[in-house]
Every structure is written in structure tokens, then in C-alpha cells.
Amino acid sequence: MMATRIRKTKSEERILTAAAELFYANGLRGVGIDQVIAASGVAKSTLYVHFRTKEELVAAYLRRTDDSWTAQLQDAAGRSGDDPREQLVGLFDALTDAFDRHGFFGCPFVSAAVEADLDSEARAITVRHSQRRQAWLSELSERAGADAPDVLARHIGLLIDGALASGRLLQDRAVVEAAKSAARLLVGGHT
């Protein structure tokens, strides 16, 4: 029983890893199930044991990406020290780290929101991601002493989204440095 569970977990991990790379680089609609099967090295039946539909696979990818991206933002913020004002600026290092790993393919959540139907689970997950990120930014802004924490959080969120979109378009990591500089000015102006 345990060997079956481990094998199942490893197969699921291979599928999700392959799907994540493909979806991120090519978009949700630009990737077919056969590509995920080929990239993951699993049998078609194995994929369908884990994910009955492409929509289920997309949802699992987005949930996993939400957890991963949130952790990367929070880690970058934490690396900048204990001061929440510095953390609001330091979180942009997560964008630089992402660019250095694989270049800019934009924000997977914006891409998913553009491609997904308005009533789809994929779109709902993207909205929850944005709300989760904004709640964290608001909390951080409040701890930083911002006079209007939700406003500062919204502005920082727009800088993150703008840096990811411009980074995708221009393929230039200097966009992140510009967003980080703008964040520093915003934080200074709000606290």
C-alpha cells in the first residue's frame, strides 16, 4: 500500500512539474494533455488517474503556483530584514529571482485570468490568489505604519503586476529595479 502511494505521489509530482513548466511558458490554451504526458514521462492512464480533466490539472497547477509564488514573495520580503517598510520593497527581489531562473514569461495568474472563462475554477483561483496577496500586502503596509494600508498595498500590487507584464514584454530585468525604486518612494510617501 505504501509503495503504491509513493509511486502515485511521484507520478503526480512529475505531472505537475511538467505541466507547470509548459503552462508557464506557453499559456493554458497553448498546451495540450499529450504535451504534458510527453514531458512528464507518464502514461496517459496515469495522468487521468490523477487529473480527470485538463481543467483539474490547470486548477492544481494554479493552486500550487499560488502557494509557491506567495512563499517566494514572503521569503524575499523576509530576507530584507525585520522592518516592514524594507520588506515591502525587498519583496521585489522575488521578481528578480524569478527572472534570473527562467526569464520573464509574465504572471501565471494574469495569463490564466486572460485565458480562462469567467466562470471557471481557474479564474476563481486567480482571483483568490490576488486577494490573498493583497491581504498580505495590506497587513505588511499596516505593520509599516502606512496612513492608508489598503491604498499602499494596492499600489504595491499594481507595481508587482506591472513589473511582471513589462518584464514579459521587454524581457529586461531593469523593469524590476524600476518597480522596486517606485515601491521605495511609495512606502516612504505612505509611512
| pLDDT at residue number 7 | 54
| pLDDT at residue number 4 | 47
| pLDDT at residue number 1 | 47
- pLDDT tens track for 21-67: 999 889 999 999 999 999 999 999 999 999 999 999 999 999 999 99
| pLDDT at residue number 105 | 80
d(CA 175, CA 48): 40
**What average pLDDT does range 90-99 have in this prediction?**
94
d(CA 177, CA 37): 38
Helix (H) or strand (E) holding 17: helix 2-26
**What average pLDDT does range 163-172 have in this prediction?**
89
| pLDDT at residue number 100 | 84
Q: 3-state class of 118 per DSSP?
A: coil
